[in-house]
Amino acid sequence: MKAFLQEYLAYTRSERRGILALVLLCLMILAFPSILPLLFPKETSDFSTFQKDIAAFETQQEKAASASTNLFVFDPNAIDQAGLQDLGLSEKVANTYLNYRRQFGDFERKEDLKKVYGFTETLFQELEPFIQIEAREKETQEEIVSRNTPKLRPVTFDPNTVRKSSLVGFGLSEKVASNIINYREKVGRFEQKEDLKKLYSLSDSDYEQLATFIEIEPLPVETTDQIASNDIANSNTVPDAYEARELSRIVLDINKAGAEEWQQLRGIGPTYANRIVKFRAALGGFSSTQQVAETYGLPDSTFQNILFSLRPSPIFKKLKINELDAKALKQHPYIKDWKTANIIVNYRAQHGKYESIDDLRKVRVLSEELIRQLSPYLEF
| Residue partners of 295: CB distance under 8 A and separation at least 6 | 272, 275, 276, 279
Amino acid in position 303: F
End-to-end CA distance of the chain: give it in Å, rounded.
119
Nearest-angstrom CA–CA distance, 24 and 127: 70
- DSSP assignment, residue 214? B
pLDDT given at position 237:
38
Lowest mean pLDDT among 34-48, 197-211, 244-258, 323-337: 34-48
Neighbours of 42 (CB within 10 A): 7
CA distance 315 to 311: 12
Residue 139 has pLDDT above 80, yes or no: no
Rounded CA separation 213/149 (Å): 14
Among the residue ranges 31-40, 268-277, 333-342, the one predicted with the least confidence is 31-40
What's this model's pTM, rounded to 2 decimal places?
Answer: 0.38
Phi, psi (rounded to 5 degrees) for 131 = -85, 130
CB count, 10 Å around CB of 377?
17
Confidence of residue 58 (pLDDT cuts 50, 70, 90): low
**In 257-336, which residue ranges form alpha helices assigned H by DSSP?**
259-262, 270-283, 300-306, 326-330
Q: What pLDDT does 1 receive? A: 61
Share of the chain above pLDDT 70, in %: 75
Contact 295, 272 (CB under 8 A): yes
**What single-letter amino acid sits at 181?**
I
CA distance 328 to 349: 16
Does residue 59 or residue 183 have the better pLDDT?
183
Q: Which stretch, 170-174, 218-222, 275-279, has highest mean pLDDT?
A: 275-279
Taking the CB of residue 135, how many other CB atoms lie within 10 A of it? 5
pLDDT of 268 reads: 92
Average per-residue pLDDT in the chain?
Answer: 79
As a whole number of angstroms, the distance between CA 289 and CA 158 comes to 20
The predicted model gives 372-380 an average pLDDT of 87
